[in-house]
Amino acid sequence: MTVTIRILGLDPGLSRMGWGVIDVAGTRLSHVAHGVIASKPADGMGRRLLLLHFTLSEVIAEHRPMAIAVEQAFVAKDPQAALKIGHARAVALLAAAQAKLEIAEYAPNHIKKCVVGVGHADKDQVMAMVKRLLPTAGVHQFDAADALAAAIAHAHLAGTRSRIAGALAGEVVSGSPSARATTKKTAIA
């Protein structure tokens, strides 16, 4: 019997936070849902963060993931953009911690390498591979595709980490990739 694990992927952003939910059963990936949470600069920082937290908490409550994969921030030169993405990431991590989810964070290049095979893939390449790996998704928004890519990367990478840890410990590893994951768990004591 194969256990099905549900993973929520997030592409954090203050104006647009992409999210995507997949199910993993063994090596089989299935699309569940995806979307983008949008906020307007005119609403002010506090209201925008509240909207992101409230909506993301609703997504978590509706889809009940067991793990969350969050794309780490990459900002080359703009410190203001880095700060805004940092706020959005904090809201995402808070919502995940409140739901007692397993939290994994991945660099954008790591996600791209895992999903596309090239660490510096562009958004069109990521979108194309997400559509190929999840043909029923019908994803058309880059933010949602990036979020689904984060979830896919977690499904693959968690399984790899688990197999390596099991081999080092001399164990026989079975079950789905995320069930075997050795990523850190965030829990509120």
Enumerate the active-site residues: 11, 71, 143
The torsion of the CA quartet 188, 57, 71, 189, rounded to 10 degrees, works out to: 0
Task: Report whether 12 contacts 85 (CB < 8 A).
Answer: yes
d(CA 152, CA 131): 12
Residues 6+ apart with CB under 8 A from 54: none
Residues 6+ apart with CB under 8 A from 57: 95, 98, 99
C-alpha angle 69/53/19, rounded to 5°? 40
Per the document, the length of the chain is: 189
